Structure 1
Amino acid sequence: MTLPTHARAVIIGGGVIGCSVAYHLAKLGWTDVVLLERKQLTSGTTWHAAGLIGQLRASSNMTKLAKYTADLYASIEAETGVATGFRQVGSISVALTTERHEELRRSAAMARAFGVPVEEIDTAEIKAKYPHLNTDGVVGGVYLPSDGQGDPANIALAMAKGARQRGALIFERTKATGVARDGRRITSVEWEAEDGSSGTITCDHVVNCAGMWGREIGQMLGVNVPLQACEHFYIVSEPIAELQSLPVLRVPDECAYYKEDAGKMMLGAFEPVSKPWALGGIPEGFEFDQLPEDFDHFEPILEAAVNRMPMLAEAGIHTFFNGPESFTPDNAYHLGQAREMDNVWVAAGFNSIGIQSAGGAGMALAQWMEDGEKPFDLGDVDIARVQPFQSNRRFLKERVTETLGLLYADHYPYRQKATARGVRRTPFYNHLLQHGAVMGEVAGWERANWFARNGQTPDYAYSWKRQNFFGNVAEEHKALRENVGMYDMSSFGKIRVEGPDAEAFLNHVGGGDFSVPVGKIVYTQFLNSRGGIEADVTVTRLSETAYLVVTPAATRAADQTWMQRQVGEFRVVLTDVTAGEGVLAIMGPNARKLMQLVSPNDFSNDANPFGTAQEIEIGLGVARAHRVSYVGELGWEIYVSTDQASHVFETLFEAGEEVGLTLCGMHAMDTCRIEKAFRHFGHDITCEDNVLEAGLGFAVKTSKADFIGRDAVLRKKEAGLDQRLVQFRLTDPEPLLYHHEPILRDGEIVGYLSSGAYGHHLGGAIGLGYVPCSGESADQVLASAYEIDVAGTRVGAEVSLKPMYDPASARVRA
């Protein structure tokens, strides 16, 4: 078969992911798809995968993709004649600690909200379903009857055959060796075959499905794909006579999983400290290769397993296997349109869940390529989240030693990565550490999450209950509500939009009205064509031709890329200026008093009303004071160039002694914002949440000239809301909310919380979540009885569509 000279899409990599993308593009009618595989299909990682197919993931959309995957594997054999070996054997996860049991019970509640069948089972029920298990120390568990297992290589080959049947072309032993570019587009891919032939394929799109080669292929394509291969171990026993079909078993407290397969028992591990592999590059000839055994590394896992599964002591080991799999810095795979190029797509770095993710990931990416927009929120895995520094080899080596083990670690709320820390620091980093700051990390930024008291260990002690910082955050929260607090916001993204068309451009991409005086601050959203929220921003007019767009730290890169793709003929330049200014938030009823101590400027309502910015003198320097608030109090965000940042911090801190200033962290900011029902992007509002249903219609001005998403907003106004974002307060002050807890309305599950935190002022845990309301008035929504499922216990909740704290916003305008 001869390679064509043109293809609509060239897919690089013939593992299960590349085959899935080819299959799903062909299914959408893309007949001129070419897949290039350097060796043989499945020869990298797919062939030695364990083949576990679980349906419950960490979010509703990831669960939706996993459920789609299982359904596909169950049906594709009939379509292609290739057996996938898919068996719905179920899975059991067991807890050996009360903390892990809490996690499993919360995951069971989440499964109920997501529509995944689940049973919470006690030790006796676990033993009945898994008689070979030693249940000593087992506290409890959960059973997911719809989980399964399959044959990884045949799953990939089935999708490859399905793709071929629909016209896709697949070429093995054909390596992509280079590309030609024109600006932000790849125009052609060069290839070489093992038989010595070579050539070029012009193309409209390129998809990087190169697995553990994804970083290097990304470099060839001009895009950043941070991932690193790690060694992954499992053993397979000799045949065991009495072994029948069993559920997949996970014992995460012992870092182990078990799978019965063809009368043998497989034991796999996700050890706490993993072994990065091929740091200098993967050998050129790698194909169906195994790595050297490392029994010493695996021995602690095996020792615990022999106790947990006594049959392993008798059976003997048939196979000790060590093979590489790729891991990413945050343990989420990379999917979507690469930021650096406009026609390069990525599906790689699947962190040992490639088989159970491949069907859904391929479907979602193909639909995204077809429509030019994400089919639904994929923020968990969207490659637009990655940072340039994350491809640093030393960073990856250090980080992936941890991320493999995090798959089976306790998934505590607020858990921070421990490795490869400190790469991005704000100008106030050392000042904050000196005063007891306990740092967290977002997008590489070190941020003060809370402050330890004198004599208190400045570190997290994780739990599902009240963690060791609970009282500290309560004090910081109280300071913001009753006096004055200061926290560091420097990590928030700052994008300068400048040029003669800056006003017109922002009026095109943003829902707000940017035809405002210099110094005015506009809070609004950038929408997509469906009225979903692409970004949640504040925009300050700095001059006639310049604006400053402020975004969350985690989405700065994605938001700037999204804006850049809308530029077209507008005469504007977008510049990331995040590192150029430090930002200190001064918030609370005494914020004005503190500001007057450090600056001669006028901070009165007449001179500096809410939603305006002014240039100020502060200490010996100058800064810009933005009167806005994310905590629902009177306050200012002080933007100061980094060279003067330390001086301004010291000036404010010293003057603060006179008014009782408290240093606060990001956790206190979050607990305050949720009391005020301020939305959190990525949780409460995403690209698939309509701006009106999110309760943010006030920030979108449909009366102005056309903007992206305006028609969808008008259609939704006409049709009415299908759901509303509701605020909840638990009537019992003890339970804690994080997110994804099921919402029950009159006894029936109707949704789940999008975010949760403790409301220290309101005296209970607070959550936000969408409630279906088609054809209902606001009063009808509020008239029902509501409960929240917290780890299997239903807790009564008060509800409101207005913020429970200061609904009239009198405090921020004081």
Structure 2
Amino acid sequence: MSFPEKARVVIIGGGVIGCSVAYHLAKKGWKDIVLLERKQLTSGTTWHAAGLIAQLRATANMTKLAKYSQELYGELEAETGVATGFKRCGSITVALTEERREEIYRQAAMARAFGVEVEEISNERVQELYPHINLDGVVGAVYLPKDGQGDPANIALALAKGARQNGALIKERVKVTGIAKQGQRVTGVDWQTEDGNTGHIEADMVVNCGGMWGREVGKMAGVSVPLHACEHFYIVTENIPGMTQLPVLRVPDEYAYYKEDAGKILLGAFEPEAKPWAMDGIPEDFEFDQLPEDFDHFEPILEKAVDRVPLLAEAGIHTFFNGPESFTPDDAYHLGLAPELDNFWVACGFNSIGIQSAGGAGHALAEWMDSGEKPFDLGDVDIARMQPFQSNAKYLYERSKETLGLLYKDHFPFKQKETARGVRRSPFHSHMTERGAVMGELAGWERPNWFAREAQEPAYEYSWSRQNFFDNVREEHMAVRQNVGMYDMSSFGKIRVEGPDAEAFLNYVAGGNYSVPVGKIVYTQFLNNRAGIEADVTVTRLGETSYLVVTPAATRQADQVWLMRHRGDFNVVIMDVTAGEGVLAIMGPRSRELLQAVSPNDFSNEVNPFGTAQEIEIGMGLARVHRVTYVGELGWEVYVSADQCGHVFEAVAEAGFDLGVRLCGMHMMDTCRIEKGFRHFGHDITAEDHILEAGLGFAVKKDKENFIGRDAILRKQDAGLENRLVQFKLNDPEPLLYHNEPILRDGEVVGYLSSGAYGHNEGAAMGMGYVPCKGETAAEMLGSKFEIDVAGVRVEATAQMQPFYDPKSQRVKV
């Protein structure tokens, strides 16, 4: 068996994902592509996948990738001669509760906004399309006629053949035993054949497509790839006489799906509590293996299934299958450039949707690898979203019990993960929980989302309508608007940028002007070469050669990596200091009064105007206050050394008692910011949203000579805007908005809400979203009639470019 000594890229893993990456790189004309598979192609999890191929995903870009997969699989057979078994059989999802009906109707509205063909259908229509179903308890259904199914192994083999036809080298029964590195780059891989031959391939790039081995492959390179294998079950019946092609049927309230397959029925499950597997490692000889049957685990699913599709009671079981698949902590796959290295890529952890995702994921990764830039926003799946601690084996074991079932659980707004909680706690954690905080989790951080009243159970009661915390958040919201509120912002990322070139470096890597006095705070963005927004941050000058960059909690690692990768020859040090300081936000018209009660310092406009920071004494300790706001009120963020946080909290709480200070949570922050039209990174602003179209041109200093994205800003300025980010308020106070609801302009769907929340001061749900406006002024665009589709019901909305609340921002500067 001959091996090359050098390759442009080595792909590790020959499942459907690895084959897709090889195929798409080869189609782009790459040469010297080597794919190494430890056993045989598809022998890990691909060979036993169910092969469901749905179009609709949770976001527009994930839907775009799923639709691409469908289109590709429809063409592969003609290109390669390998039958993929792909057919558009359609899919039906039925609801057995009113809450689930609301969810699937909202999904249907979202599908229309994303350009996916969908219809809400009656029970009679369900029966026509799927005559074997028992409709007892069915209260709603949606039908996607272009959803499909295929043969998973043959799809992978077709991709492999297509890759070979375009010059890729695929080697089976070759295990990667080591990954060589130098500095921030991998330099090659060590390999070993089953008969004991060994060697090394130099590589310009390496791609980890290791599937459920992905975490171990990552470890060889010093890269964190959080995923864990779980047992995954399905049964296949004996042949059923007269059985013809049927749509895929999903009954998420019973955790089940049904797929017709060559005259048989495949019944699969996403049970609410899964069984993690291979805690001590995957057996070395694992190849096309299945796991022991566990009928007791599957029996509750089967009992409901026999009632839902009665012919199952008469059809014998031909196969009871149990095979492992890998799941990630947040139920989204891992794609992209590993944060730890500059040429090590990841594409694994596909959470049982690998077949429908593989085509699009391989295409997107190949585009990224080829151009050096993401083809569009991939924040949902970018491996950089993961936190290093999430590779902890015990954490993954506990979380994976839950994540397998998340696909079919109710996807309620604000739904919190229940497992593997409590890992990251702020210095104020116990003070908050003692006072009724109901915690949410983000990037492992436990954060107060809302506060329960004294006699109220401090827990979520989920719903698509007003949840049990709605009034609590309204009271917190109004406390900040009318009096004073205090909340914990310690989870937000804090990155120190220090060194002789700190000022010049930030002026290059971000859009604002950092040639400012010590103590000045600059709201700014990191831009890519298309002037898309890679990060939304504040930068505070702490000293002549020292700055503090404050980022959202979930993107701290990604933002720090962005800085590191653009450091070049600048003489700077970039450090994560998040855990070193706790942060209490004190916001509202009486916030100055509260701070003056606990500190001898001067908080007046003359000494501490908006957008500046100062060192203060507070209680018997020390702190630094930043006069900024994300809620649109007078206020300060109080940065306190972690060792003094307990004391400072107690001092402020005691002083605030007479003022009626109210503890608040993250939900309040979201409802206040939407009234002010403040953007939410990852929703309203992403890597593919141009900063001018996002309405953030004021944060860019275009007269700077050289910064990333400058040319794209000037081009857009000359060419004119094609889209504008618009704020909406429903004219009816009852419906609720979350995000992805379609925007209708003069009766036509033109976009969807990027974010939504209830504006308690404004008395209605509010949202933001991009509206096409090429060749129009803002006034011409706003002269239209706007509606928002809420679960299939059109609700009239008022549209504005300026904030509904305090449009001139007078309240923050008093």
Shift of 1:524: 0.6
Give the match for residue 62 of structure 1: 62
Counterparts of 1:145 and 1:97, CA distance in 2: 23
Letter in 1 for 2:190: E
**Equivalent residue for 2:618?**
618
1:602 and 1:290 map into 2 onto residues whose CA distance is 70
Name the structure 1 match of 2:385. 385
Deviations 1:120-160 (A, max 9, x none): 01211111111100000000110000000000000000000
SS at match of 1:225: coil
TM-superposed CA distance for 1:195, in Å, is 2.8
CA distance in 2, matches of 1:748, 1:568: 48
Deviations 1:650-700 (A, max 9, x none): 111110012110000000000000000000000000000000000000000
Q: Which residue of 2 aligns with 1:254?
A: 254
The corresponding residue for 1:697 is: 697
Give the distance between the partners of 2:277 and 2:164, measured in 1 at CA.
34
SS of the residue corresponding to residue 137 of structure 2 reads: coil
Distance in 1 of aligned mates of 2:605 and 2:265: 72
**1:678 matched to which residue of 2?**
678
Q: Distance in 1 between matches of 2:179 and 2:659?
A: 62
- 2:310 pairs with 1:297: no
Deviations 1:88-147 (A, max 9, x none): 000000000000000000000000000000010121111111110000000011000000
Q: Which residue of 2 aligns with 1:122?
A: 122
Q: State the Cα deviation string for residues 453-482 of structure 1 (Å, max 9, x = none).
A: 011000000000000000000000000000
How much has 1:31 moved relative to structure 2? 1.6
CA–CA separation in structure 2 for the residues paired with 1:196 and 1:658:
77
**Which residue number corresponds to residue 214 of structure 2?**
214
Q: Which residue is 1:324 aligned to? A: 324
CA deviation after TM superposition for structure 1 residue 198, in Å: 1.6
**Where does structure 1 lack aligned partners over 5 or more consecutive residues?**
none
State the Cα deviation string for residues 600-630 of structure 1 (Å, max 9, x = none). Answer: 1111111110000000110001100100000
CA distance in 1, matches of 2:412, 2:131: 30
Instruction: Return the letter of the residue paired with 2:790.
Output: V
Equivalent residue, structure 1, for 2:24: 24
Structure 2 match to 1:804: 804
SS of 2:811's partner is coil
The 5-angstrom pairing of residues 249-288 of structure 1 reads: 249-288=249-288
Q: How does 1:546-695 map to 2 (within 5 A)?
A: 546-695=546-695
Q: 2: distance between equivalents of 1:679 and 1:140?
A: 35
Match of 1:90 in 2: 90
Q: List 4+ stretches of structure 1 deviating above 2 A.
A: none
Task: Give TM-score scaled by structure 2 length.
Answer: 1.00
Question: For 1:390-427, what per-residue CA distance to the aligned partner results, in whole angstroms no more than 9, with x for missing partners?
Answer: 11111001000000011100000000000000000000
Instruction: Name the residue aligned to 2:139.
Output: 139
Q: What's the offset of the Cα at 1:705?
A: 2.2
CA distance in 1, matches of 2:298, 2:179: 42
Match of 1:167? 167
1:720 and 1:660 map into 2 onto residues whose CA distance is 49
Is residue 348 of structure 2 the alignment partner of residue 358 of structure 1? no
Q: Distance in 2 between matches of 1:572 and 1:334?
A: 30
Give the match's secondary structure for 2:813.
coil
Q: Output the amino acid matched with 1:407.
A: L
Number of the residue aligned with 1:224: 224
Letter in 1 for 2:155: I
Q: For the residues of structure 2 that align with 1:424 and 1:195, how far apart are their CA atoms?
A: 47
Q: CA deviation at 1:221?
A: 1.4
Q: Which amino acid aligns with 1:128?
A: E
Number of residue pairs aligned between Structure 1 and Structure 2:
814
CA distance in 2, matches of 1:78, 1:725: 43
Once the two structures are TM-superposed, the CA of residue 3 in structure 1 deviates from its matched residue by 1.2
Q: CA–CA distance in 2 between the matches of 1:115 and 1:747?
A: 16
Please report how far the alpha carbon of residue 242 of structure 1 lies from its aligned counterpart in structure 2 after TM superposition: 2.2
**Which residue matches 2:737?**
737
Q: For 1:812, what is the secondary structure of its paired residue?
A: helix
Aligned partners of 1:306, 1:32: CA distance in 2, in Å? 52
Q: TM-score, normalised by structure 1?
A: 1.00
SS at match of 2:240: coil
Deviations 1:19-64 (A, max 9, x none): 0000000011112100000000000000000000000000000000
Q: How does 1:29-108 map to 2 (within 5 A)?
A: 29-108=29-108
Provide the residue aligned with 1:152 in structure 2. 152
What CA deviation, in whole Å up to 9, does each residue of 1:535-573 have, x standing for no partner? 000000000000000000000000000100001110000
Which residue number in structure 1 is paired with residue 182 of structure 2? 182
Q: Distance in 2 between matches of 1:191 and 1:640?
A: 51
Greater alpha carbon shift after TM alignment, 628-637 vs 194-203: 194-203
Please state how far the C-alpha of 1:589 moved relative to its aligned partner. 0.6
> For 2:734, what is the secondary structure of its paired residue?
coil
The 3-state SS of whatever aligns with 1:138 is coil
Matched AA of 1:356:
Q
* 2:441 partner amino acid: E
**For 2:686 and 2:611, how far apart are their aligned partners in 1?**
24
| Corresponding residue of 1:347 | 347
- State the Cα deviation string for residues 715-770 of structure 1 (Å, max 9, x = none): 11010000000000000000000000000000000000000000000010000000
| Mapped pair 1:712 → 2:720 | no
Q: Secondary structure at the match of 1:66?
A: helix
| Structure 2 counterpart SS, 1:315 | coil
Paired with 2:416 and 2:402, the residues of 1 have a C-alpha distance of 11
Give the fraction of aligned pairs with identical amino acids, expressed as a percent: 74
- Structure 1 position 204 matched with structure 2 position 204: yes
Q: Secondary structure of 1:704's partner?
A: coil
C-alpha distance in 2 between matches for 1:424 and 1:222? 22
Task: Name 2:545's counterpart in structure 1.
Answer: 545
Q: Secondary structure in 1 aligned to 2:314?
A: helix
RMSD between aligned residues: 0.5
**Structure 2 partner of 1:768:** 768
Letter in 1 for 2:396: L
For 2:152 and 2:180, locate their aligned partners in 1 and report how far apart those are by CA, in whole Å.
34
Deviations 1:292-335 (A, max 9, x none): 00000000000000000100000110000000000000000000
Aligned residue for 1:222, secondary structure, equals coil
> For residues 742-761 of structure 1, what are the structure 2 equivalents within 5 Å?
742-761=742-761
Give 1:196 deviation, angstroms: 2.4
Aligned-partner Cα distance in 2 for 1:76–1:314 = 37
SS of equivalent to 1:176: strand
| CA distance in 2 between partners of 1:127 and 1:188 (Å) | 57
Matched letter for residue 67 of structure 2: K
Aligned-partner Cα distance in 1 for 2:713–2:236? 57
What CA distance in whole angstroms lies between the structure 1 residues aligned with 2:179 and 2:725? 47
- Distance of 1:693 and 1:684 partners within structure 2: 11
What is the one-letter code of the residue matched to 2:490?
A: S
Q: Find the counterpart in structure 2 of residue 724 from structure 1.
A: 724
Instruction: Give the match's secondary structure for 2:231.
Output: strand
Task: State the AA in 2 paired with 1:755.
Answer: S
Q: Which residue type is aligned with residue 199 of structure 1?
A: G
Distance 2:221 2:19 in 1: 20
Write the distance in 2 (CA, Å) between the matches of 1:377 and 1:172: 34
CA distance, structure 1, for counterparts of residue 389 and residue 399 of structure 2: 12
The worse-fitting range, judged by mean Cα deviation, of 187-196 and 677-686 is 187-196
Separation (CA, whole Å) in 2 of partners of 1:646 and 1:691: 40
Query: Counterpart in 2 of 1:781?
Result: 781
Aligned to 2:404: 404
> Structure 1, residues 167-217: CA drift from partner, whole Å, max 9, x if none?
000000011111211101111111111132221110100000000000000
Secondary structure of the 2:812 match is: coil
Distance 1:496 1:205 in 2: 30
Of 651-660 and 512-521, the range deviating more from structure 2 = 651-660
